[in-house]
Chains A and B, each alone.
Chain A
Amino acid sequence: MSLAAATSDPAAASQPPLVEISDLTVHFRTPTRQVHAVNGVDLSLERGEVLTILGESGSGKSVTLRTLMRLLPERRSQISGRVSVDGQDVLAMSQRQLTRFRGRTASMIFQEPMLAFDPVYTIGEQIAETVCRHEGVSRREGLARALELFELVRIPSAQRRLANYPHELSGGMSQRAMIALALSCRPKLLLADEPTTALDATVQIQILLLLRDLQRELGMSVIFVTHDMGVANEISDRIAVMYAGRIVESGRVEELIGAPQHPYTQGLMASRASGAQRGQRLEAIPGAPPDLAELPQGCAFAPRCPQASDECLAAVPAARGLSDIHWAACCRLPA
């Protein structure tokens, strides 16, 4: 397979990170209110690394991913901060530069694979189209690449499947096809927005394993978004926990799952069904995430936090380092 490694592992350490996000904020203007979807996020991703952004629905995970590809509606969104991918300043790109960047340097797989394909073109055509667009090859060469990709993502009777329309594929098959599409131009960065959430449990595991194998085989960097801690544990090198548009804790999987420090992360752990002992009551985090149009002062988790005190409401808690990589933003932790 000729798709191997856009990057190679050994050199990774000396290279600058593939993705650097600093102080990113994203606000949406609606006629009546201003939604503060992302509020000062700092993130970086090493080459060949898999980072999971973990959080409840509505915490700003998808918005963060879309900002990395500038996919948000320009007229309604206000973005500030810095986003750099592979040395390119994403927020400063022209439309022309963007079309060359998307699908080639970075590509994305979506939560609902069935909805992510154009229903009136065959799957093969839609993959070939991407290859033609970025590599200037003929339609036939594009289709030949699509066939290779289908074999790579282990779609049975690949040749026949290429001629299928999206509605003729099952959910799991569409997600494989979506992965094939995303990998078609050997991207350095793969963004996966809850790629298994819409699938059946058994299919979920297959897709997860496929993604992990492909990531290792191709040496890609991946940002994976999920609200499922089990999935995060399965696939990531590092986890960043997001709450109300901020990263509240971040660290290596072992550190974060083994010894979560932020009360929100601890709550997430406790509410996991598989983490609960037999006969033990499942402890979900009481309450709901805050309204992003009216964020509370200070720590956004305070209304739900069992350890909240007046100190928490004074200012947004700063990050406290717990190891070289592990940190959490909670004022209960030693500074």
Chain B
Amino acid sequence: MPIYFLKRVLYVIPIALAVSFFCFSLVHLSPGDPMDAVVSPDAPSEVVAMVQRAYGFDRPLPEQYGRWVLRAVQGDLGLSAANGRAVTAEVFSALKNTLLLAFAASLIGFTLGCVFGTLAGYFQGSLLDRLVTGIAVGGVSVPHYWLGMLLVIIFSVELNWLPSSGAGPGSSSDWNVEWAYLRHLILPAVTLSVIPMGVVTRTVRAMVADILAHEFVEALRAKGLAERQVFRHVVKNVAPTALAVMGLQLGYLLGGSILVETVFSWPGTGLLLNNAIFQRDLPILQGTILVLALFFVMLNLIVDLAQARLDPRIQRG
């Protein structure tokens, strides 16, 4: 077992390097000169040269990459081209908000998904099953921005119960578990939760129905277990797959919240990326994507390790 774990952990290093290389290349793959965003096109050539040197754009590419990675490892992702602030600080303060939103959305989506999926799996073919499956399909297919705007119209504009934008009073770093902040979280979290809800419902439903059809479930009943104890066995069998799907969904939520964050002006990485794209702020773009991608890699690692721990059939050599 430890060898598998060690191998899996070491495996992260080449992946992380590949990810960083991709992020670095972004600057050079994107159309236009990265300098355009920093200095105006009619600036004198000495100024351009000076700024180029400051950003290191005058060095050969491999050297630029090496320096960039070295600094990134030390937590320095450079300066924003738009406002000169440290990219690391910008990204992490946005990441905190995105994580908050993603966790809130997964809490809603995963809980409902597990409950719905289990019920539908146990009562396969029943009216309840068809209802739940309908909800799940709806959840997966409804467009985020459409649902977001619908919720805003109902709960903000018409009923005036919940705010339609922002993360709460003051700067986002003051966030607190208080109604003043929570009320801002509700609409974006609900909007973001419908896809994971749908995906988890469908996965759990399929898994539960599949496990219940296994002969060992009859054998568990035949040895006198109460239905509640049989359920415990079902849960332990479904858990590895369900957990893997939820881990991936959490990952998608981190990247997939761009639309929701834009609709609700939620100050997270999605909004940051959106703004960076319009302002051609490449250091921010680079830094945000790098951090999100590394987060995704770590999440995958955790899911794999958890799965290997939960399912004895996954090779433990």
Using a CB–CB distance below 8 Å, which chain A residues touch chain B? 69, 71, 95, 99-104, 107-108, 110, 112, 115-122, 129-130, 133-134, 165, 167, 181-182, 185
Contact = CB atoms under 8 A, between A and B. Distances in A.
Q: Chain B interface secondary structure, helix, strand, loop or mixed?
A: helix
Most chain A CB atoms below 10 A, which of B220, B221, B223, B226:
B223
B216 A117 contact: yes
A121 B233 contact: yes
Contacts of B317: none
Contact of A107 (B216, B223, B226): B223
B313 A119 contact: yes
A102 B237 contact: no
Given A120-B310, A121-B233, A134 B224 contact: yes
B178 interface: no
Contacts of A71: 218, 221-222
B123 to A, nearest CB: 10
A133 B223 contact: yes
A134 B218 CA distance: 17
Interface string B105-134: 000000000000000000000000000000
B222 A165 contact: no
Contacts of A129: 223, 225, 229
A115 B215 contact: yes
Interface in B24-43: none
A103 B236 CA distance: 22
A167 B313 CA distance: 7
Given A120-B236, A120-B312, A165-B312, A102 B224 contact: yes
Contacts of B215: 110, 112, 115-116
Contacts of A107: 222-223
Contacts of A108: 219, 222
B214 interface: yes
B121 to A, nearest CB: 15
A102 B236 contact: no
Contact of B219 (A116, A122, A133, A134): A116
User: Which among A71, A95, A104, A121 has the highest number of chain B CB atoms within 10 Å?
Assistant: A121
B280 to A, nearest CB: 52
A69 B218 CA distance: 11
Contacts of B226: 95, 99
A117 B218 CA distance: 10
A119 B229 contact: no
Contact of B229 (A69, A104, A115, A133): A133
Contacts of A110: 215, 218-219
B76 interface: no
Given A95-B227, A119-B237, 6 more contacts: A99-B225, A99-B226, A102-B224, A118-B220, A167-B313, A181-B223
A152 B236 CA distance: 30
Contacts of A100: 224
A108 B311 CA distance: 27
Contacts, number: 73
Interface in B208-252: 214-216, 218-227, 229, 233, 236-237
30 contacts: A71-B218, A71-B221, A71-B222, A95-B226, A95-B227, A99-B225, A101-B224, A102-B222, A103-B223, A103-B225, A104-B224, A107-B222, A107-B223, A112-B215, A116-B216, A118-B220, A118-B236, A119-B216, A119-B312, A120-B233, A120-B237, A120-B313, A121-B233, A121-B236, A130-B223, A130-B225, A133-B225, A133-B229, A167-B312, A181-B223
A116 B215 CA distance: 6
Nearest to B219: A116
A108 B222 CA distance: 7
Contacts of A121: 233, 236
Interface string B61-73: 0000000000000
A102 B313 contact: no
A133 B227 CA distance: 12
Interface in B74-130: none
A183 B190 CA distance: 52
The 4 nearest A-B residue pairs measured at CB: A103-B224, A103-B223, A102-B224, A116-B219
A167 B219 CA distance: 16
Contacts of B218: 71, 110
Contacts of B214: 115
Interface string B284-317: 0000000000000000000000000011110000
Given A165-B312, A167-B313, A118 B233 contact: yes
Nearest to A122: B312
Given A116-B215, A133-B229, A102 B221 contact: yes
B4 to A, nearest CB: 16
Nearest to A166: B216
Instruction: From A69, A99, A182, A185, name the one whose CB has the most chain B CB atoms within 10 angstroms.
Output: A99
A129 B236 CA distance: 15
A99 B222 CA distance: 8
A324 to B, nearest CB: 34
Contacts of A101: 224
A164 to B, nearest CB: 9
Nearest to A178: B219
Interface in B179-224: 214-216, 218-224
A192 B311 CA distance: 30
A117 B236 contact: no
Contacts of A167: 312-313
Contact of A99 (B224, B236, B311, B312): B224
